[in-house]
Structure 1
Amino acid sequence: MAMPEGIGVVDLMIGFPFASKKQVYERLQAGLKDDQSTEEFVMPVEYMFKDIPEEAEEGSDPIDYTIAEMDRWGIDKGLFGLSETSIEAKRRHPNRVYFVTEVDPNDVMGTVRLLKKLKADHDLKAVSVFPAGTVPQVAVSDPLMYPLYATAIELDIPVIANAGIAGPRFPSAPQHVEHFDQVCYDFPELRLVMRHGAEPWEKLAMKLMLKWPNLYYMPSAFAPKHYPRAIIDYANTRGADKIMYAGYFPAGLTLERIFTELPNVPFRDHVWPKFLRENALRVFKLDD
């Protein structure tokens, strides 16, 4: 059950230190109503995290910092949000940096055109969506999502969608795990990845992964000591090919905290290489 060393981890949710956290999360302000979220918090989910990574030091190189941290903790490749910084990082480290972009499904044709352009220009590896965080909200199984799913199939890239109770103080119904059942039925070719834990419906997430071959899960934004027990048990039995590592740096967790806690997760020996690397390479087609 020991976590192996030197495996070349793939981190499916990683980034570069923020120059301004407030600016990063400004796009979520339109959907927030409570005073604490809008006036006190810089990060809308501050109530959930402690020891949030610091902003980038003035004059420092965020690319050098993150690559050094990846080297320190044995991370070979990362899935980064597409930006000018990540494009430059890809130029410097072509086999270590890969791109995902987040979209608003309310802009139906804009999203379709954008994904096709980004795939052609930057070899986009995935698209993500935050159903509870869009304004107006769009549920995972809403018809507005369907052009996104169809385009992802056409481009042969996975869709990552938040599942479970939303961290920011938005209504969470658009992310109920039950929505994924309908999408998997309508799009059997789609590679669909549940993000951010799926709690409190993690047992339902497990049942749906048993049912649907192309439905996957990553415990992003969860410190390893808080990984849901049902998901650990599923990975250790029938779900070793379905669970993939994703962190949450720099949004809420340091890599030091993640990789200090990760060896204590009771995965069986055969699960570790799949969880840390092999599943991500296969599902996201990252193996050069």
Structure 2
Amino acid sequence: MVQQVIDCLVNVHFGETEHQPQFMTKVRDDYFKGPPSMFDPIDLSELLDEMDAHGVAKAILMDNLTTPSVTARKFVEARPDRFMLAIGGVNLLKPVASLRELTSVVADLPIAYAVVGPSFWGDGMYPPSDAVYYPLYAKCAEIELPLCVNTGIPGPPIPGEVQNPIHLDRVCVRFPELRLCMIHGADPWWDIAIRMLIKYQNLRLMTSAWSPRRLPDELLHYMRTRGREKIIFASDWPVLRQSRVVPEAKALDLPAEALDNYLYNNADDFFFRRSEEH
């Protein structure tokens, strides 16, 4: 019986802006078929109630260097026992000031990981193997901050080839100290992602924005066998609600140990133990 869950990607910032970018509304309407309420302001008690109902002990809330989420930081301040932050918004083209700010934020706030989305950066011109990312890789390795990189074809109508996991191959070779996690799955390149996970010790994959019952057979086989410590659960709440994805995850045909690892242990080891040690 799985006792606890860590949800490693939760969005509470959507309601902070009156109008979402067009690509986000298209993702909601065309890709996820979500309700208009998906982008409503979030109440702390509402989120905690859903977490408690489904055994979610901790959640990582998305934040941004350039446009900090008032809601996410307020939630973390109110319940540091339940929440940490994930930080995006590093300026890859003018990295020095941006990375100084990242270092300062990591020192002041409970940051679980940094995040970057190649398809969303520079009009999808820069794959993760491009040197434009190297200052970010070096800084995250230096301060021992895990870095999450979007992989797989994205939902919005923007270029997706830069998110092929093969672009991380050279990164893992050149930055072996960097703890790196592929997020939002790896569709349609699951086989490449799995091969990369086998090859590199410090690489993980997060299934955020994926319904567990839609995960491919090859990934589930990997989770049952040599990948028990490699795959991390996340919802991408409220895009996918915990009320949907946690029961789906618990219903997967996985050995108890593999399921515990997927829902809690792998995230605890990769993201949270670092914060407790520093």
Q: 1:11 aligned to 4, 7, 11, which one? A: 7
User: In structure 1, how many angstroms separate the alpha carbons of the residues matched to 2:149 and 2:255?
Assistant: 27
The match for 1:34 is: none
Q: Which runs of 5+ in 1 are unaligned?
A: 30-36
Q: Which residue of 2 aligns with 1:233?
A: 221
Relative to structure 1, the CA distance from residue 229 to residue 172 in structure 2 (aligned partners, 3 Å threshold; closer, same or farther) is same
Aligned equivalents of 2:103, 2:128: Cα separation in 1: 21
Task: Report the equivalent of 1:72.
Answer: 53
Moved more, 233-242 or 128-137: 128-137
* Higher RCO (C-alpha under 8 Å, 6+ residues apart): 1
Determine the C-alpha separation between the residues in 1 that align with 2:12 and 2:132: 31
Q: Give the C-alpha shift of residue 43 in structure 1.
A: 4.2
Which of these residues, 142, 151, 154, is aligned with residue 130 of structure 2?
A: 142
Structure 1 residue 13: Cα displacement: 0.6
Provide, for residues 4-37 of structure 1, a one-character-per-residue CA deviation record: whole Å limited to 9, x for no partner: 24x22111011337326763x42xx5xxxxxxx5
1:52–1:254 Cα contact (<8 Å) kept: no
TM-score, with normalisation over the residues of structure 1? 0.86
Matched-pair identity in %: 29
- 1:54 maps to 2:42: no
Confirm or deny that 1:88 pairs with 2:71.
no
Q: Residue 9 of structure 2 aligns to which amino acid in structure 1? A: M
| Displacement of 1:45 | 5.1
What is the distance in 2 between the residues matched to 1:139 and 1:22?
Answer: 32
Change (3 A) 1:107 1:62: farther
Given the two structures, how large is their TM-score scaled by the length of structure 2? 0.89
Which whole-Å CA distance do the structure 2 matches of 1:276 and 1:116 have between them? 29
**1:239 partner letter:** G
Determine the structure 2 residue equivalent to 1:185.
Answer: 173
Q: Secondary structure, in 3 states, of the residue corresponding to 2:256?
A: coil
**Within 1, Cα distance between the matches of 2:108 and 2:7?**
23
Query: Helix, strand or coil: the match of 2:229?
Result: coil
Q: Structure 2: any 5+ residue segments left out of the alignment?
A: 64-68
Choose which of 245, 256, 273 in structure 1 pairs with 2:233: 245
Against the structure 1 CA distance between its residues 269 and 119, is the aligned structure 2 distance closer, same or farther, given a 3 Å change threshold?
A: same
Matches of 2:193 and 2:240, distance apart in 1: 24
Once the 2 structures are TM-superposed, how far is the Cα of residue 141 of structure 1 from its aligned partner?
1.0
Q: Is the 8 A contact 1:126 1:158 kept in 2?
A: yes
Please tell me whether the aligned partners of residues 126 and 160 of structure 1 are also in contact (alpha carbons under 8 angstroms).
yes
Hey, what's the Cα distance between the residues in 2 that align with 1:115 and 1:20? 22
* Aligned positions of 1:159-238 closer than 5 A: 159-238=147-226
Verify the 8 A CA contact 1:17 1:55 in the aligned structure 2.
Answer: no
C-alpha change, 1:257 and 1:21, in structure 2 (3 Å) is farther
Task: Say which is worse superposed, 269-278 or 132-141, in terms of deviation.
Answer: 132-141
Runs ≥4 in structure 1, deviation > 6 angstroms? none
Give the structure 2 partner of residue 133 of structure 1: 120
What are the superposed Cα offsets for residues 249-281 of structure 1, whole Å, 9 maximum, x if unpaired? 11x212211123223211122101111111111
Quote the offset at 1:55 in angstroms. 4.3
The code of the aligned residue for 1:245 comes to F
Write the distance in 1 (CA, Å) between the matches of 2:237 and 2:225: 29
Distance 2:35 2:137 in 1: 33
Distance 2:47 2:218 in 1: 32
* Aligned alpha-carbon RMSD (Å): 2.1
Distance 1:12 1:64 in 2: 19
Q: Structure 1 residues 130, 17: closer, same or farther in 2, change over 3 A?
A: closer
Would the alpha carbon gap of residues 260 and 181 (structure 1) be closer, same or farther in structure 2, given more than 3 Å must change?
same
Aligned length: 268
Question: Structure 1 residue 71: deviation in Å?
Answer: 0.7
Residue pairs, 1:29-40, within 5 angstroms: none
Which residue type is aligned with residue 47 of structure 1? Answer: D
Task: Name the structure 2 match of 1:124.
Answer: 111
Give CA-to-partner distance per residue, 1:79-113, whole Å, 9 cap, x none: 11132212221222111110111124233223312
